[in-house]
A and B are shown apart, each in its own frame.
Chain A
Amino acid sequence: MDGIALLTITVLAVFVGFEVVSKVSSTLHTPLMSGANAIHGIILVGAIIVAGQASDPWVLAVALLAVVLATANLVGGFVVTDRMLEMFRGRKREVAPPGREPEALKPEAKEGLR
């Protein structure tokens, strides 16, 4: 792909990134960071390409190291983000809407603590 097309895509991606992320609530900033962290693990694709074209054993060794590191980043990032977000889910208060009603809240929330 030629340079100008890549540059165009890069610039547009900057705007998409700013646009999408500025709407994230500060409650979810930690999952956002770890989710974004997982996404840059996609460098794995680059590492695989380089490793797949390596003929020199040293080049292959370094490329495989890159594959290991990138996989750790990608897999670990998505797993840990999922773990965090799982906790945010399932705590919706269906009984009591945002206005608080201690009586309605009590049994359900207690169950969660078990």
Chain B
Amino acid sequence: MTLINPVWTSLLYLAAAVCFILALKGLNSPRTARRGNLVGAFGAALAVATVFFSVKMDNVPWILAAMVVGSGVAAPVARQVKMTQMPQLVALFNGVGGGAAALVALLELAPTEDHWVRVAIVFTLLVGAVSFAGSAITFSKLQELMTTRPVVFPGLPTLMGAVLLAAVGAAVAVVFSGSLALALVLLLLGLAAGLLLVLPVGGADVPIVISLLNAFTGLAVAASGLVLGNVLLVVAGTLVGASGTILTRAMAAAMGRSVAGILFGAFKGGSTAGSTAVSDRPVRSSSPEDVAVLLGYAQRVIIVPGYGLAVAQGQHTAAELALALEARGIDVDFAIHPVAGRMPGHMNVLLAEANVPYESLKEMGEINSEFRTADVALVVGANDVVNPAAKTTAGSPIYGMPILEVADARQVVFLKRSMRPGFAGIENELMYEPQTTLLFGDAKESLAKVLSAVKAL
């Protein structure tokens, strides 16, 4: 095969890098986002085509076959996955990316003599392995293959410390010896660290962990670019590392907690204020017809969707209810908490799928002052994100998390499956307030009943 001139190779990689930057830039607005993503995909295709003509390649049929297998598995999954399962899928793709970076680094160790390059190799190995194992656990938690509650056992911090120390020791040894056996040990230690990192994280904090692991994989890819002397990998990995870091910080801020607190203090105090027990305090429950009257004769309704809505696949019914109310001249908005759903911005995707115009989706900062003018706040399958304990109860695990101020609305209606507390396992005092009514049942069924009652008004 004739190889193209190295200058051309560099220029083509540069073009691909620019495509990636444009892909991220396109996400500034929903209108340009899709085109941006296609530009990014084009850049990736360009880069992959370039690599075949830039270095002397053996095993080309094998490589092509492996690519067919990879896309043959991933594309159908990506096409069919339900929008509620998006977080799992992102965790999965993130994990395999981290795994691939670690494997590439492992194979580059043998031909490398330079100590600095070996530093990049051990970094990629360790971070890639952490990302792979961490993503696998995240996936299992989200897919509910394992418990979503934090898994903590005595001595966990000590074990984690020991694993990290051993990993640093092994990393230093690999840098100086170049030993493949030690590199494998380092890989295993990285996998163990990833496991121990994510196990103690509770279900409610998983969105932040996905974002963090995404940044980790980006950094691993950037480091592998340093190993291979490939500028494109460096730029792409760094972009992802930066975006993951920003998102992680934004998420943590939205939950009023520090990233370190989430990883290392994961809901330890959960037992002081919360339990999974069903409370038997009296609440005011109501019928779908009563809720329909409340909504139908209001002037302004704010719907607060939570993950319960998504689980029940009720987003389409919620969108229909909003339309029915708007047809009656009622002002309807959706108030979206940044951590509604299971990853940043997840609820927006789910409601977009149900054709809710994105102008109706209001962010927390924008809508919070408007609850005071709302006649009804309709909380569907959300709990922790509207729990006043975040402001009032200093010992509560969610204390300090910014919440949607639904208590300011004249009436609050909760559509809930049961009196069970939310993800964080904390009682919500708002449910016992005089302005609150509850409608029990599956979110989708309740919404459908309310919808038909509204139409009958």
Contact = CB atoms under 8 A, between A and B. Distances in A.
B450 to A, nearest CB: 17
Interface of A: 1, 3, 6, 9-10, 13-14, 16-18, 20-55, 59-60, 62-89, 91-93, 98, 100, 102, 105-106, 109-110, 112-113
A31 B231 CA distance: 25
* Of listed A1, A23, A85, A113, residue having the most chain B CB within 10 A: A85
Given A33-B244, A36-B24, A37-B214, 4 more contacts: A32-B243, A35-B27, A48-B52, A76-B71
Nearest to A15: B242
B357 to A, nearest CB: 5
A39 B37 contact: no
A60 to B, nearest CB: 6
Nearest to B28: A23
Contacts of A45: 47-48, 51, 230, 232-233
A113 to B, nearest CB: 6
Contacts of A63: 103-104, 107
Interface stretch (B153-161, B273-281, B319-327): B319-327
B221 A17 contact: no
B225 to A, nearest CB: 7
A24 B230 CA distance: 28
Nearest to A51: B63
A6 B229 contact: yes
24 contacts: A6-B226, A13-B234, A13-B235, A14-B241, A18-B245, A20-B243, A21-B24, A23-B25, A24-B27, A30-B90, A35-B36, A36-B24, A39-B44, A40-B101, A41-B97, A51-B59, A52-B56, A65-B103, A66-B103, A67-B66, A69-B70, A71-B67, A72-B96, A80-B89
A39 B73 contact: no
B320 A76 contact: no
Contact of A88 (B33, B232, B243): B33
B103 A14 contact: no
Contacts of B239: 13, 16-17, 20, 36, 39
For the complex, would chain B's binding face be called helix, strand, loop or mixed by DSSP majority?
helix
B162 interface: no
Contacts of A100: 326, 331
A39 B233 contact: no
A21 to B, nearest CB: 4
Contacts of B240: 17, 36-37, 39-40
Interface residues of B, number: 121
B31 A89 contact: yes
B344 A102 contact: no
Interface of B: 16, 20-21, 23-25, 27-31, 33-34, 36-38, 40-41, 44, 47-48, 51-52, 55-60, 62-63, 66-67, 69-71, 73-75, 77-79, 81, 83, 86, 89-90, 93-94, 96-97, 99-101, 103-104, 106-108, 110, 116, 210-211, 214, 217-218, 221-222, 224-247, 250, 316, 319-320, 323, 326-329, 331, 336, 338, 341, 343-346, 348-349, 352-359, 361, 363
A43 B128 CA distance: 11
* Of listed A39, A65, A87, A102, residue having the most chain B CB within 10 A: A39
Contact of B24 (A35, A46, A62, A76): A35
Contact of B348 (A1, A30, A66, A82): A30
A91 B44 contact: no
A6 B108 contact: no
Contact of A6 (B231, B331, B356): B231
B90 A42 contact: no
A36 B246 CA distance: 12
B166 to A, nearest CB: 23
B100 A43 contact: yes
A84 B344 CA distance: 14
Given A27-B345, A80-B81, A72 B74 contact: yes
B78 A51 contact: no
Nearest to A93: B357
